[in-house]
Amino acid sequence: MADLDPNCLFCKIIKGEVPSYTVFENDDVKAFLDISQITRGHVLMIPKKHLVNFFDYTQADAARYLQYIPVIAQAIKRSNPEIKGMNISSNNGEVASQAVMHSHIHFIPRYSKWGDAIKVKSLSNADQYSEQDYQEIAKEIRGSFK
C-alpha cells in the first residue's frame, strides 16, 4: 500500500500485520477499538494514508478523511443506549500527548456526567489575559492564514 510507513504501528494495523478490533473500514479510513478502552466503546479512527497529525493535512486530506467523524460517532452512540455523550479528540504532537505518530481521532463514549473513568476538566486561564492580549493573539493567528 502506498503512502504507508513500514515502521508505524497504525500503518501495520492498516496492512493487517497487527490485529485490531475493526468497527468500520473503507478505502479512506479504518476505525477500531482502542486497546486502552478508557470507556466501553472507545474507538480510534485513522486515515489510510500516513499523516503524522493535523499539521500534515491538506484541505483535500481533511475533506477525504474527516468526513467520517459523524458516521463513526453516530454508530457508536447507536450501539449502546446508555451512551449520553462523547469526547471526540485528537492529540497533535508529542507535547500534546500524541503517543502514536499517525494521525488518529479518539471517540470516547460518556455514560454519565461524573461516573466515567475519565473526567474532562474545563481549564480556564482567562484571568491571566487582558483585552489587549486577546486582540494580539487573534491578530497573530489571523495573520498566519494562507
pLDDT digits (tens, 9 = 90+) for 11-45: 999 999 999 999 999 999 999 999 988 888 999 99
Residue 30 CB burial class (10 angstroms; 0-12, 13-18, ≥19): buried
The topology (CATH level 3) of 9-142 is HIT family, subunit A (3.30.428)
Mean pLDDT for 69-84 is 93
Residue pair 107/47 in contact (Cβ under 8 Å)? The answer is no
Q: What percent of the chain has pLDDT over 70?
A: 89
Mean pLDDT for 50-56 is 97
pLDDT digits (tens, 9 = 90+) for 104-114: 999 998 988 65
Domain borders along the chain are: 9-142
Residues with catalytic roles: 104
The one-letter amino acid at 4: L
